[in-house]
Structure 1
């Protein structure tokens, strides 16, 4: 069961009101706008009550999060009230709750950073959106783990309702990262190759398919695990040219494994440690490795020869920084492109939909307590 704190008379309602006020003034994100404890039956222009996953302090998510029920809040003239449909649990969401992510909302805060919802009502000055439209926060916005959200119309991007909701909910963080890394910095042409570790991750699955659509070959590194042959087959069905386990690459000359595939000009690292070193072993003269994650929590160690004799370049990529450089219009265009690929059946990845009532179990899966699991997506 979710730990819950539901609005009750007197003391509990005061707590809800105070928490709403704090969320209103924290981080400029206006999670909730409440000047008093509104009740939808007595006040016009008010959202329905909302249930949310809230944390008041940083720590392990399974220890510091709880279910809170908020009263309805005012929907102002430029506001849009959105009934959330789905929202994923991303590693960055967990890191924000833990307090180790570089950017995080002020506390108390509602968890979640991306998702998809249906417009429930709009303010009097809103003309671009109507009830029933599907929207996503774009750029992503704090506080998507709740049943209703009221925010300014500028936050919301209307999307095609023909795309499955779980894909719409997850399109912004991981697929957009994959697309940007393939297109930003290193010019690739049909026939070129890339290499990546963490190939079973959502970004990794997207990289395989997006590269394949452009005629770019992919070399994919995965960790040794039970059922590895099935994992390899799954990735090859997505379009992977080669899939190797880390142990299979403990050889002197990895390039001898590539057959007709050229040495990659570009590599992606989301693991660190030995898995990052394996990416470097594949790169051609003057190649570039882009690091966008560190799942092993181990540093990237580079031999001196890689810099001197191979002239390799190392750089990082952080989606939130890219989004903060006034690229909202460009990001929305790219998101629409990705959603189009999903609609055409050209982009897919593993996910598990779970009801909001099972949030604790989904959180345990996202934390790795129950072994390797697909991306957890909460359905409200």
Structure 2
């Protein structure tokens, strides 16, 4: 359901964020920190009110201290204790949807009430409010998007789009092969490929009841859905040739690694590209030397954070506009999700316990959906 935007000129009297002082297990180190309302924004900055922010796997790795992208310490939330210069904190959250509530002098192309997403990594989106440079956010279209769309726009959709368009010059009717097809990025690859008229061969882990998953992925636009066990079927090569009409497959997307990726790569044609963006099996990637020598295979790694650092603001704005249009037209669905709300009347102790419980459930795989965090203003 598309939500109509509401805007109030009254800023929060009191704010809250989810933060940590040192790296470690999120169930042990996360804390809720309450802080005062933001002062008016200084020149070239805006005050934001966060509407919804996801908890991504990379956020867990960041808190644990094993992710390459590092947040900066924040020391201006409080005058003493947690969030002060005495005990600075890392505010969690890399991705999120926010609304502009106040605009400083010199700010361009933004006004109060606008929806924005983050253009800078690790800004600390698990917060009710933040003050940021106006150059660190990108404005979204004025209507037609849900909060869930906006909150999850800058990591997985951008990754899927850039991998599909940045390595092989694919045209309508071409084929892409991928593993981890039921992952968040995999499902977006299917949807974006469908928009572009590109066919997809999608591999997933075998399970007792495959029919619902196959139906779901085909509903998103998947051309073929197979399991990793099918890679051991010697007749699959003949089937793939029939499906593609003998056309070379020139792009493979990998988030699994290990033997399934080795087997999948053998279906690639001449001058193809294998793009790895994850390693869920935690096993090394091993590719036959013959694919490089005789088929001129090129293997790449892709990390959206690096893409963001090496592309212009205009390119990033265009990417967000393109994805937003697909979402507005119903061609990209918001991910299945559950919203965890930290209520306005909950104490910091209660909010801390709730967040630690959320991360315990995430670690045990109890959600099965994207978890989106909503922090209510503590003044309401």
Alignment of 1:88-237 (within 5 A): 88-107=54-73, 108-126=89-107, 128-160=109-141, 161-237=143-219
Residue 231 of structure 2 contacts residue 260 of structure 2 at CA under 8 Å; is this kept in 1?
no
Deviations 1:325-350 (A, max 9, x none): 14222111111110111111011143
Aligned to 2:111, what secondary structure does the other structure show? coil
User: What's the secondary structure of 1:324's corresponding residue?
Assistant: helix
Q: Given the alignment of the two structures, is residue 375 of structure 1 paired with residue 370 of structure 2, yes or no?
A: yes
**Following TM superposition, by how much is the alpha carbon of 1:147 offset from its aligned partner in structure 2, in angstroms?**
0.8
Q: For residue 317 of structure 1, what is the aligned residue in structure 2?
A: 302
Cα distance change, pair 213–86 in 1 and its aligned pair in 2 (3 A):
same
Q: Distance in 2 between matches of 1:330 and 1:316?
A: 20
Counterpart residue number, 1:19:
none
Q: What does residue 243 of structure 2 align with? A: 260
Q: How many Å separate the matches in 2 of 1:291 and 1:323?
A: 17
Q: Unaligned 5+ residue runs, structure 2?
A: 1-9, 74-88, 343-353, 376-380
Aligned to 1:363: 359
Work out whether residues 47 and 81 of structure 1, in 8 Å CA contact, stay in contact via their aligned partners in 2: no
1:132-185: per-residue Cα shift (whole Å, max 9, x none)?
A: 221112244420011111112222222124200111111111101111111112
Partner of 2:21: 56
SS at match of 1:260: helix
Counterpart-to-counterpart distance in 2, 1:119 and 1:177: 26
Aligned residues: 335
Q: Hey, what's the Cα distance between the residues in 2 that align with 1:361 and 1:264? A: 44
Is the deviation greater in 305-314 or in 271-280?
305-314
Q: Which residue of 2 aligns with 1:352?
A: 337
Is contact 1:136–1:169 with CA below 8 Å preserved after alignment? Answer: yes
Residues 127 and 335 from structure 1, CA distance in 2 versus in 1: closer, same or farther, beyond 3 angstroms? closer
Shift of 1:253: 4.7
Note the aligned Cα RMSD (angstroms): 2.1
Compute the TM-score of the two structures, normalised by the length of structure 2: 0.82
Summarize the Cα distance change of 1:78–1:47 in structure 2 as closer, same or farther, 3 Å threshold: farther
| 1:326–1:69 CA distance, 2 compared to 1 (3 A) | same
Counterpart pick for 1:66 among 5, 9, 31: 31
Match of 1:280 in 2: 265
